[in-house]
Structure 1
Amino acid sequence: MSVAALASPTPLPDQPPVPAPARLRVLVVDDHADIREPLAHWLQRQDFDVATAADARQMRHLLRHQPFDVIVLDIMLPDEDGLSLCREVAATLGTPVILLTARATPPERVTGLEAGADDYVVKPFDPAELAARIRTVRRREARAPRNAGAPAPGSRVSFDGWLFDMQRRELRDPQGKLVLLSDMEHQLLCALVAHPHQVLTRDRLLDLMHGDDAGVFDRAVDTQISRLRRKLELDPRRPRLIKTARSNGYLFVAQVQALAS
């Protein structure tokens, strides 16, 4: 190759522009304008697309007209309890919810997580931490793995004589009796029946259950396993269906069969 060729390299063909990543759409629901509005402005400066609502009525109106990637929801609202709203979102939309509240004790935080929340932030909080949690919750939602051989979410399955309808959130024992499940018990059982005969660590269960507060959730997973065993097992102290994998997590050993809808 000549010196001239080196001095005048062939120009590279035009490359298509790389599209900018989509801005995360966040709905902030808080009745205190001195929290809601500054937080919205701060998040917008961090490249989020933000809408706000002061109460449950405004929140439902916005959700009817546009989708959101994450909802930041205050528990204490003037017209409705934020926990009931969280349960409604989890059951109908599945949009990740971060609860925003002044309640800081572990039992209160577990109550919020059991209502279907993906994370829990205590007031007063650092906006940078909230922004990081929003991104983390969205990443976890986007990467939630699917097992090709597992029952599809929302399907009906049977195991050990039990019938479980994930879409209707109905669990019936071998005698046909309806067994009530909390929101977290339902999420946990969905994760277990979708991954039978696999050791699921607590962290893996957190991912499958769309949880994010590791400190509280580690304890909550063990608590919910115990509660679920009391409902599924003849002798919860000697479980046959949900086994403990020492130092690893839990193993669902039942044969799971997908049923026609």
Structure 2
Amino acid sequence: MSNFNPLHGRIMVIEDEVDLMEAMVTYLNMEGFAADGVSSLKMATQWMRTHQFDVAVIDLGLPDGDGMVWLKDNPLLQNKGVIITTARGESSQRIEGIKAGADVYLVKPIQLEELASLAHNLMRRIRAQTTPSWVLHRMNWMLHHPSGMALKLTHSEFMFMQVMAEQTGQAVARQALVTRLGHDPQTYDFRRLEILVRRLRNKAKQLLGSDLPLETVHKIGYAFTAPIGLA
């Protein structure tokens, strides 16, 4: 059973030692994060282009390049938290890592409990610095992206997003969503809700050029994990 808490955020772990990567991902998931692992810089770049995330945990010695070089001036990591995990423990290398954009520099072997605690602290700092960016307008059923672009919603999409906005960062049960949509959960075909969510995600991707920060919470429902305001 997943312990995912949307407020804890999503983490990408880049580590080529498979056992260590799996241990890190498993522990972070147990701590309430949504964590995914990749084993190369190429895989990391591909993953970041298709996923919303908050923090990257980066090993420096990777099979297809130096994580330090990759980290510098990487546009996909702008406004993200960065934790370096590496065997390079010299003070000059630590300084180089911080200058490259790392928030935390950990020298292996790392303690998983320490990694999770640092990730929690980093997420709190990131969220504290974040101002409401998405805006849902009640009058015209428009969802505004942080860039200023807007998405016209259908009535059902608006009702769905209104619940998400009212309970930002919380997992909303499918039954509660169906009730707000005006249906009886006892007789409703929940595949219709899945179709609505899929269409909304696809619409946002096509018209806004961005993924909705809308997470599927296993066995519960959905959560909108970015700040959003109602207007």
Partner of 2:90: 105
Assess if the C-alpha contact under 8 Å between 2:84 and 2:97 holds in 1. yes
Counterpart residue identity of residue 113, structure 2: A
How far apart are residue 143 of structure 1 and its match? 2.1
3-state secondary structure, aligned to 1:26: strand
TM-score, normalised via structure 1 length: 0.46
The equivalent of 1:174 in structure 2 is none
Contact 2:29 2:35 in 1 (8 A): yes
Alignment of 1:25 onto 2:17: no
1:109-128 alignment, distance < 5 Å: 109-128=94-113
The match for 2:120 is 135
Instruction: State the partner residue of 2:67.
Output: 82
Decide whether the 8 Å contact of 2:58 with 2:85 is kept in 1. yes
Q: Could you say what the CA RMSD is over the residues aligned between the two structures, in angstroms?
A: 2.0
Distance 2:7 2:45 in 1: 24
Q: CA deviation at 1:142?
A: 2.2
Residue 145 of structure 1 deviates from its aligned partner by: 8.4
Query: For residues 94-140 of structure 1, what are the alpha-carbon distances to aligned partners after superposition, in whole Å with 9 as ceiling and x for unaligned?
Result: 31110110111211100110111111111001101000111111222
Q: Deviations over 1:225-254 (max 9, x none)?
A: xxxxxxxxxxxxxxxxxxxxxxxxxxxxxx
> Paired residues, what number?
127
Alignment match, 1:56:
41
What secondary structure does 1:88 align onto? coil
Aligned to 2:7, what secondary structure does the other structure show?
coil
CA distance in 2, matches of 1:51, 1:138: 16
Higher Rg: 1
Q: Distance in 1 between matches of 2:51 and 2:72?
A: 19
> What residue in structure 2 maps to residue 68 of structure 1?
53
Contact 1:90–1:116 (CA under 8 A) maintained in structure 2: no
Tell me how far 1:21 sits from its aligned partner: 4.7
Pick 1 or 2: higher relative contact order, CA cutoff 8 A, min separation 6: 2
Deviations 1:139-177 (A, max 9, x none): 22222389xxxxxxxxxxxxxxxxxxxxxxxxxxxxxxx
Q: Report the CA distance shift for 1:65/1:136 in structure 2 as closer, same or farther (over 3 A).
A: same
Cα separation, partners in 2 of 1:145 and 1:58, compared to 1, 3 Å: closer
Measured in 2, the distance between the counterparts of 1:143 and 1:23 equals 13
Q: Does 1:45 align with 2:30?
A: yes
| 2:81 is aligned with 1:96 | yes
State the identity as a percent: 31
Letter in 2 for 1:100: T
Gaps of 5+ in 1: 1-19, 147-261
Query: 1:91 and 1:70, CA in 2 relative to 1: closer, same or farther beyond 3 A?
Result: closer
